[in-house]
């Protein structure tokens, strides 16, 4: 993509309404634009990151055996009356009336709708288990939308729903999502930890929030350092095998958000040197709620003895749009964003220091073509801005690699390569540079699978 054709509206000043660094950088680097309280337009650069994050979430859901579908954003009030949540949900629900005076709503979540869909298509215990998900915009009229996409009113969520015959089977579905989440966040360059969460009226131990440690997080968190350092299961993990040991290994270590924190237990279970008391961002929540919706909504299957049994259910959310902010919180410096390769809007920023110079133009054109051919996504700065402005802009948008091409270097047959994450700069010969970059990008992407 040529920068001259792209749409990258940058802000010079840090907007005063943005309190945390991810919100500031998303506005300054032209990722989003606010269109209303807690409502954002995704500008081209931000949209590319959002799509990459969404795709990683999708790949890990598919790997775990979940099946993708798409439910509408607008729902009928009727459905929510069946579960009793239409009144209970309160002011966070955006209620709408259509021209026939029918009560509708913009979905804040989809338990009711998926239960309605599955109850008509699943008849026997033999049809189970089912694990279905979609990635869809939600609306919640949050009392205090803030921190940009971290707590928006309109936001993109991945929500999965599980349907099982009994508790033991429901636990297997739960474990699949638990392990899928470990991989999902790690692939985006995030260190996440599952933490015990409020499980609601049903009780039980099957409710975990996945938290990314960050100073600006909204939740207070207390956990064992060993949990954060634990390696993530590889891509060869067998989701049909026994995942309980992986889950147990983690849930046996202390980890709780402030709501569930018990100071005495924390001190007793965690050695002083391993105690982390910090803040975190909730990027996912997995939750088993038994028959809370299946009973009132009459979602049953015939069991082995022919008698009807209400479905055991769980729901599993990931804050896809919130993750864009979370990744920036974890990867930035004074100069701007520092995207991990796996979610970067482009892999390489190609800077032409002197457009119009025949040698510089020719060298850039050949890099641009070589990268394109190798599948390396490139933003080519072919504009007439001054070099200083080009450098600052490229640092701000934070693409993992920069290739800097100017007449002076070309006289000696070299270009400069900069690694945005480490700040390392090196020279490469005109002949080798493309190969060096392609190899590094390919290796980096492979590593994050
Ligand atoms: P919170 O306690 O932060 O309000 P929640 O318990 O309401 O979250 P869930 O209903 O479990 O969240 O939603 C699943 C995921 O969706 C959350 O883990 C979070 O990552 C994301 N999410 C929830 N609310 C918002 C929001 N207002 N803006 C952006 N992402 C959100
Ligand atoms: Mg909420």
Which residue CA neighbors atom 23 of ligand 1 most closely? 319
According to the model, what pLDDT value does residue 197 have? 86
Domain boundaries, the chain: 3-337, 346-447
138 lines ligand 1 (CB under 6 A): no
Cα–Cα distance list, 419 to 324, 349, 399, 400 (Å): 21, 10, 9, 6
Taking only the tens place, the pLDDT of each residue in 311-327 is: 999 999 999 999 999 99
| Closest-lying ligand 1 atom to the alpha carbon of residue 153 | 27
Q: What is the mean pLDDT of residues 91-99?
A: 97
Please report the beta strands in 185-240, taking only residues with DSSP state E, as ranges in sequence order. Answer: 192-196, 207-213, 219-224
Taking only the tens place, the pLDDT of each residue in 14-72 is: 999 999 999 999 999 999 999 999 999 999 999 999 999 999 999 999 999 999 999 99
Give me the residues paired with residue 337 across strands. 332
Give me the residues paired with residue 146 across strands. 151
Q: What is the mean pLDDT of residues 81-97?
A: 96
Both tokens of 200, joined, read 């609601």
| Same fold yes or no, 3-337 and 346-447 | no
Q: What is the mean pLDDT of residues 124-131?
A: 97
What does pLDDT average to over the chain?
A: 96
Q: What is the mean pLDDT of residues 340-359?
A: 98
CA of 143 to the centre of ligand 2 (A): 10
CATH number given to 3-337: 3.30.930.10
CB neighbours of residue 441 within 10 Å: 22
157 lines ligand 1 (CB under 6 A): yes
Helices (H) and strands (E) in the chain, counts: 14, 23
| Confidence check: pLDDT of 10 > 90 | yes
CA of 150 to the centre of ligand 1 (A): 9
CATH number given to 346-447: 3.40.50.800
According to the model, what pLDDT value does residue 203 have? 62
CA of 119 to the centre of ligand 1 (A): 26
340 lines ligand 1 (CB under 6 A): no
142 Cα distance to chain centroid = 20
| Confidence check: pLDDT of 442 > 70 | yes
According to the model, what pLDDT value does residue 65 have? 98
According to the model, what pLDDT value does residue 448 have? 84
| Confidence check: pLDDT of 216 > 90 | no
Taking only the tens place, the pLDDT of each residue in 353-402 is: 999 999 999 999 999 999 999 999 999 999 999 999 999 999 999 999 99
CA of 319 to the centre of ligand 1 (A): 6
Q: Beta strand 300-302 with 308-310: parallel, antiparallel or unpaired?
A: antiparallel
According to the model, what pLDDT value does residue 77 have? 98
CA atoms in the 13 A half-sphere facing the CB of 247: 22
Band of pLDDT at residue 447, cut at 50, 70 and 90: confident
CA of 408 to the centre of ligand 1 (A): 52
| Confidence check: pLDDT of 348 > 80 | yes
| Confidence check: pLDDT of 433 > 70 | yes
According to the model, what pLDDT value does residue 159 have? 98
Taking only the tens place, the pLDDT of each residue in 196-211 is: 888 765 666 799 999 9
433 lines ligand 1 (CB under 6 A): no
Cα gap 416→291, rounded to integer Å:
61
Taking only the tens place, the pLDDT of each residue in 276-318 is: 999 999 999 999 999 999 999 999 999 999 999 999 999 999 9
Kindly identify the ligand whose nearest atom is closest to the C-alpha of 285: 1
Both tokens of 55, joined, read 């795709």
Cα gap 169→167, rounded to integer Å:
5
| Closest-lying ligand 1 atom to the alpha carbon of residue 284 | 18
CA of 121 to the centre of ligand 1 (A): 29
For residue 89, cis peptide bond before it (omega within 30 degrees of 0): no
Do the beta carbons of residue 146 and residue 298 sit within 8 Å? Answer: no
283 lines ligand 1 (CB under 6 A): yes
């Amino acid at each position: 993509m040529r920068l001259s054709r792209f749409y990258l509206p940058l802000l010079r000043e840090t907007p005063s309404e943005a309190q945390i660094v991810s919100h500031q950088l998303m506005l300054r680097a032209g990722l989003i634009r606010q269109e209303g309280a807690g409502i954002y337009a995704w500008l081209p650069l931000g949209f590319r990151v959002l799509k990459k994050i969404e795709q990683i979430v999708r790949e890990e859901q598919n790997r775990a055996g979940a099946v993708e579908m798409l439910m509408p954003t607008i729902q009928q009030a009727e459905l929510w009356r069946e579960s009793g949540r239409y009144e209970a949900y309160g002011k966070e629900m955006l209620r709408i009336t259509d021209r026939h005076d029918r009560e509708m709503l913009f979905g804040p979540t989809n338990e009711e709708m998926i239960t309605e869909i599955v109850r008509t298509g699943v008849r026997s215990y033999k049809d189970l288990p089912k694990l279905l998900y979609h990635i869809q915009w939600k609306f919640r009229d949050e009392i205090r939308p803030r921190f940009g996409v971290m707590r928006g009113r309109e936001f993109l969520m991945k929500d999965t729903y599980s349907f099982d015959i009994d508790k033991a089977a429901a636990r297997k579905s739960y474990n699949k999502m638990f392990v899928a989440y470990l991989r999902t966040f790690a692939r985006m360059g995030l260190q996440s930890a599952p933490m015990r969460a409020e499980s609601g009226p049903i009780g039980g131990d099957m409710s975990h929030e996945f938290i990314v440690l960050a100073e600006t997080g909204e939740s207070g968190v207390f956990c064992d350092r060993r949990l954060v350092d634990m390696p993530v299961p590889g891509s060869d993990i067998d989701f049909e095998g026994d995942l309980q040991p992986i889950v147990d290994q983690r849930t046996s270590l202390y980890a709780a958000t402030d709501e569930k924190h018990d100071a005495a237990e924390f001190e007793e279970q965690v050695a002083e040197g391993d105690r982390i008391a910090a803040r975190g961002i909730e990027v996912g929540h997995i939750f088993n709620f038994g028959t809370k919706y299946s009973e009132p909504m009459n979602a049953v299957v015939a069991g082995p003895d022919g008698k009807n049994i209400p479905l055991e259910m769980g729901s599993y959310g990931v804050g896809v749009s919130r993750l864009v902010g979370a990744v920036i919180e974890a990867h930035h410096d004074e100069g701007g964003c520092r995207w991990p390769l796996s979610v970067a809007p482009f892999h390489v920023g190609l800077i032409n220091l002197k457009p119009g110079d025949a040698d510089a133009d020719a060298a850039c054109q050949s890099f641009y073509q070589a990268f394109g051919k190798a599948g390396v996504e490139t933003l080519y700065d072919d504009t007439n801005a001054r070099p200083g402005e080009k450098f600052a802009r490229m640092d701000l948008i934070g693409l993992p690699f920069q290739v800097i091409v100017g007449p002076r270097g070309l006289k000696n047959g070299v270009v400069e390569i900069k690694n945005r994450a480490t700040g390392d700069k090196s020279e490469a010969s005109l002949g080798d540079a493309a190969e060096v970059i392609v190899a590094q990008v390919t290796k980096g992407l492979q590593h994050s699978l």
